[in-house]
Chains A and B, each alone.
Chain A
Amino acid sequence: MRRRHNHPDVVPNHFHRQHTHTQTPSCPVSPLISSRFYTTTMPAPDKEIDLTERIEAFLSDLKRGGSGTGPLRGSAEMARETTALLRRIAAQARWSNAGDLMEIIRTEGRRMTAAQPSETTVGNMIRRVLKIIREEYARSRGSSEETDQQESLHKLLTSGGLSEENFRQHFAALKANVIEAINELLTELEGTTDNIKMQALEHIHSNEVIMTIGRSRTVEAFLKDAARKRKFHVIVAECAPFCQGHKMATSLSEAGIETTVITDAAIFAVMSRVNKVIIGTQTVLANGGLRAVNGTHTLALAAKHHSTPLIVCAPMFKLSPQVRSLCLPARGEILSKLITLFISNIGGHAPSYIYRLMSELYHPEDHEL
């Protein structure tokens, strides 16, 4: 048996088969290998080790990033990595029915969100995958009411049995279906930036002055795409103390866009000359609000004062159900009444419509992981 270096809150004791039932108080046991779930075919031990290693590496990455300078990678990359890891779990972990898989993913998900609470994309992807599993299970069972169950009160009253579903039925094709659906999700994730930037020309006309803050890869792609056909001017607020706006400005100016860097203090002073404000965000909340980089609230207030439209470019995987236990207090939130439009990979929406989109993406029981 290999001795591995113990991280203080990570439990690698699933290696020790005789200790499978002991639990450390801080963290739940990873149920990847548990004597209850022995199937006839046991996957080779090195595959499990490989999977666990990957999970641990991912968790330590999460913990390292987000020290305030921003995550080590962009949100899109984080989403892709999370989904790839979840696909691997679905493929390589040992489970016999949907309920087991959901339990595994939920547990791993809780560890991931505990490692880095500010990285909400991870939690969002976990909820998406859980919803996928539910849907595939329902499809395998043949019931199509699964998707409609929240829509109709009548259905809720008549089909009371669905909520007691414990997903214990075994379906042979479920694994393949789930992995295929996760692959579709991955393809969707890869295309989000392209889908957003294709809408750029609809929103930017010539000779406009556009303001943005900090660095958002989505907004960068958006503006560069519009610059292919239109000439406009961009003002970037540098977003102290890390000044990510500088990198954004150099990148935009190298693409030939007329760019100006201003300090955060000058946002209100130049706002009277700005036609549109286009920003990215870290999270989109269910009520249409935002949680974004420091200084965005001031920018939104200044735009409201001058009646300048505020457009948020955010892919759907940033949409996050409001969870009260997040350590970021509600003070950092930007209210939806300050936002004019959301541009996402599925098109443009008003902030009042975001709650509907959320019900399509996540199941209400998964809001609390």
Chain B
Amino acid sequence: DGLCNTDDIERSKTEGKELTKEEKQRLRKEKKQQKKNKEKNDEKTSHEGEKKKNKKKKEEQPAGSASQPPAQPSPKVPAPAPPPPAAAAVPVPASEAPAPADKPAKSKADLKAERRARQEAERASKGKKGDVGQPAPTGKLKAPPSELQPVVKRLPEHVQVDNPEVVKKLAKKLERQQIPLRSDYGYKVSLFSHLHQYSRKAPLTQQLGIPSTVIHPAIVRLGLQYSQGIVAGSNARSVALLHAFQQVIRDYTTPPNEELSRDLVNKLKPYISFLNQCRPLSASMGNAIKYIKKEISNIPSQCKEEEAKIKLLNCIERYINEKIVLAAKAIAKYSIEKISDGDVILVYGCSSLVNHILCEAFEKKRKFRVIVVDSRPRLEGREALRRLVQKGISCTYVLISAVSYILPEVSKVFLGAHALLANGYVMSRVGTSQIALVAKAFNVPVLVCCETYKFCERVQTDSFVSNELDDPDDLIVTRKGKTQLEHWQKVPSLGLLNLVYDVTPPDFVDLVITDLGMIPCTSVPVVLRVKNVDQ
């Protein structure tokens, strides 16, 4: 019977059809069985006491999860998880604290009794809360979290590429979602071995079958646009994502015996994994996705499908309008107060918000000129230059190496941001921190323009721990007929580094202009807190 089922599953996988709910559950059960068998073998060699406790926990779970909706492990720990371990943790530390100290002294019978007491306590607390079908952590988390705790956030996968276990876990998850895994390309500089590095010449979509019924075609198109750099820029990516999700919602039909609020969220999860594989999600996209998921889960179960869909589409429309379009207008209004006649304004790269501000100021008849600073290999400044010159603004164009040369004639620096971190650091295109540094050295004010939906709860102090590595082949260039780095892959000790983002410390930034007003860099966590309280 088991053989027959696995054959069916294999067949449907190769045909690209979506696995039915039963087949998925069977797959999960088999995998859990395999894991259990593996751990049984492990137990024979390691301490029996603690492992047995874990085993008992797992045995409870398949029974519990069959009645629960299929919950797939997500990179972020879901909210209900911390309270159960906390409740279970309270009785346990009391008994655990003396245990390790006295372990050799206690007899086997005493240990057994303790264990049984612990398990009873856990079962009781689990029965009360209605456990989530979360797979028990593997041998890593043996000791329960301490009482002080718990914002135990798990580290996101995309900064643990050098950890083979995490990579394997991701591969398994993608296999389950039927999304191809994108492989890293080229020699990675050792400082960044914990990040992915992909090649633009090998987009993920090449490995998808046609027609791909797992992923909605609008999402496939979006993923391709992301990975090839056709849609670039924080706002553009978020808006494109929201429009694609609107299309998905329009085409969605609730399967029988399913609730829209739960099923739609689960439908979106493989899409998000796919987009993440095409290009790592930005902070703004992450916030937008959180908002959508929350809106979907808040749909009452008695709502009819058509109504629900219209409601969701309106929500998304409102989000785009409020958080992006109107925010831009508000920020432009504040910024125009800061632009005076005769100003020489320096901008870096192509920020849609900063371009909008400058065009608005020009329409309001302010007299200023702009210096556009650009950098290799993306050369986004050319796009900004095009847009500004079309409006009639007088512009100068320089490369970033000349910034200390022209800064003495600049009166203000306007920078865009990719995200604002909770410790006040500004994450933006690589080179922004450099411009802020040199501006500070010349005492030129630096103003960062950023909408509040890009505020992020992460904290980071340098550009290494979390970043994005772009295709290293972009650095290759031909000058005077010679391409020096053409065969860089053949030279073992040569590496090319193409960073996408960097973080600017708050002491380089004088003012942040948001749709809520003009705030100093250090007030970002206050805004985040206020936003969370509102929601």
Contact = CB atoms under 8 A, between A and B. Distances in A.
Contacts of B408: 331
Interface in A293-317: 294-295, 297-298, 301-302, 305
A259 interface: yes
Given A263-B377, A295-B401, A268 B434 contact: yes
- Residue among B190, B441, B464 with the highest chain A CB neighbour number at 10 A: B441
A298 B491 contact: no
A261 B376 contact: no
A261 B486 CA distance: 13
A275 to B, nearest CB: 13
B133 interface: no
Given A240-B376, A240-B399, A301-B438, A261 B463 contact: no
B436 to A, nearest CB: 9
Secondary structure type dominating chain B contacts:
mixed
Given A265-B400, A301-B437, A273 B191 contact: yes
A261 B437 contact: no
Contact of A263 (B376, B441, B464): B376
Contacts of A254: 491
A298 B433 contact: no
Given A240-B376, A260-B189, A250 B401 contact: no
Interface stretch (A185-193, A196-204, A241-249): A241-249
Interface in B433-481: 433-434, 437-438, 441, 462-464, 475, 477, 479-480
Nearest to A247: B484
B375 interface: yes
A265 B189 CA distance: 17
A259 B494 contact: yes
B430 A265 contact: yes
Contact of A246 (B189, B441, B484, B499): B484
Given A260-B497, A265-B430, A270 B401 contact: no
- Residue among A238, A254, A294, A298 with the highest chain B CB neighbour number at 10 A: A298
Contacts of A243: 477, 479, 484
B479 to A, nearest CB: 6
B431 interface: yes
A332 B402 CA distance: 9
A267 B464 contact: no
B82 interface: no
Interface string A217-231: 000000000000000
Contacts of A298: 400-401, 403-404, 434, 437-438
A270 B438 contact: no
A243 to B, nearest CB: 6
B13 to A, nearest CB: 41
A263 B494 contact: no
Contact of A250 (B405, B485, B503): B485
B498 interface: yes
B494 A249 contact: yes
B437 A238 contact: no
A249 to B, nearest CB: 6
B502 interface: yes
Nearest to A242: B479
Given A253-B491, A295-B401, A238 B502 contact: no
Nearest to A241: B399
Contact of B401 (A239, A246, A253, A301): A239
B495 interface: yes
A233 B497 CA distance: 14
Contacts of A256: 493
* A interface, size bucket: 35 or more
A327 interface: no
Contacts of A240: 375-376, 399-401
A240 B408 CA distance: 21
A264 interface: yes
Interface in B221-264: none
A238 B375 CA distance: 11
Contact of A273 (B438, B464, B494): B464
Interface in B390-443: 399-405, 408, 429-431, 433-434, 437-438, 441
Contacts of A294: 399, 401-402, 405
A263 B475 contact: yes
Interface in A322-349: 331-332
A247 to B, nearest CB: 5
A253 B495 CA distance: 9
Contacts of B462: 272
Contacts of A272: 462-464
Interface string A269-285: 11011000000000000
Contacts of A302: 434, 437
B493 A253 contact: yes
Given A264-B376, A269-B502, A273-B191, A258 B493 contact: yes
Nearest to A233: B190
B495 A263 contact: no
A268 B494 contact: no
Interface string B52-88: 0000000000000000000000000000000000000
A262 B498 CA distance: 7
Interface of A: 69, 233, 238-243, 246-247, 249-250, 253-254, 256-270, 272-273, 294-295, 297-298, 301-302, 305, 331-332
Shortest 10 CB-CB distances between A and B: which pairs? A265-B431, A295-B401, A246-B484, A253-B494, A269-B502, A265-B375, A297-B404, A269-B463, A268-B434, A294-B401
Given A238-B376, A250-B484, 6 more contacts: A246-B484, A258-B493, A265-B429, A266-B430, A266-B499, A331-B405
30 contacts: A238-B475, A240-B399, A241-B376, A241-B399, A243-B477, A246-B479, A250-B484, A250-B491, A253-B491, A258-B493, A260-B494, A260-B496, A260-B497, A261-B488, A263-B376, A263-B475, A264-B376, A264-B399, A265-B376, A265-B430, A265-B499, A268-B434, A269-B433, A269-B434, A269-B499, A269-B502, A272-B464, A295-B400, A297-B438, A298-B437
